Copies of this chain bind each other. A is one copy, B any other.
């Protein structure tokens, strides 16, 4: 077993050391090779400085997985790092896709270390927006047809899920958030609480509370995650509360 190497997909959390789990710390310590997006290495420089570090650009996810397999194929212990949770819109799936292409007997051992995702981190800064059922949707139509995303937005909005929107906006994708708001607004009041968290637990942190009607004009960028409350969500001071259930009385 040892001779065929191993790969661990490690979730680093938001970046702040306070939210890096001991399990992730240990996984990095045990690795011989660390592969990931260049920007993440600054978070763990002191832990990985004695290791072989392979820093790649954004967008090179498949290349990171390919290199992980190549190093593991030489019997080495490889950590593939992601921000947030390694399994939520992150590298665990990309590595699994690469492993799938190998005959089962040739695959290195593979494990995942979970992390505090943007979901967990931003929700904590907003209070309790996730006190009841929620749907997590990426607005990026790079790999998913926009029609499928619209269908998800409408379905989740109609069934009163709290919505968590990843990849709401970027320089090249600037109209999707406005369209998403229109769809959700078709099912939900304009006064629905909305929370926008930019750079959760990172330098440049900003928490902005607004409403569904005002959301499209609010400042959202590629470092932001957007929460839209359900029909019972409300503001409590500077927090958003989604209660655990629905009032027993007919409303």
| Interface size range of chain A in the complex | 35 or more
Question: Does A180 count as interface, using CB distance less than 8 angstroms?
Answer: no
Residues on B with C-beta less than 8 A from A159 are 148, 151-152, 154-156
Interchain nearest-CB distance for A158 vs B (Å): 6
Q: Is the CB of B114 within 8 A of A114?
A: no
Q: Is the CB of A21 within 8 A of B23?
A: no
Whole-angstrom CA separation of A145 from B245 in the bound complex = 8
Q: Provide the main secondary structure of the chain A interface.
A: mixed
Question: Does A107 count as interface, using CB distance less than 8 angstroms?
Answer: yes
Residues on B with C-beta less than 8 A from A241 are 93, 96-97, 100
Within 8 A of B (CB), among A54-93: 85-90, 92-93
Residues on B with C-beta less than 8 A from A85 are 120, 123-124, 130
Looking at the complex, which one of B133, B134, B152, B242 makes contact with A93 (CB distance below 8 Å)? Answer: B242
CB-CB contacts of A1-31 with B at 8 A, as 1s and 0s?
Answer: 0000000000101001111111100100000
Q: Is the CB of B128 within 8 A of A133?
A: no
Q: Is the CB of A114 within 8 A of B116?
A: yes
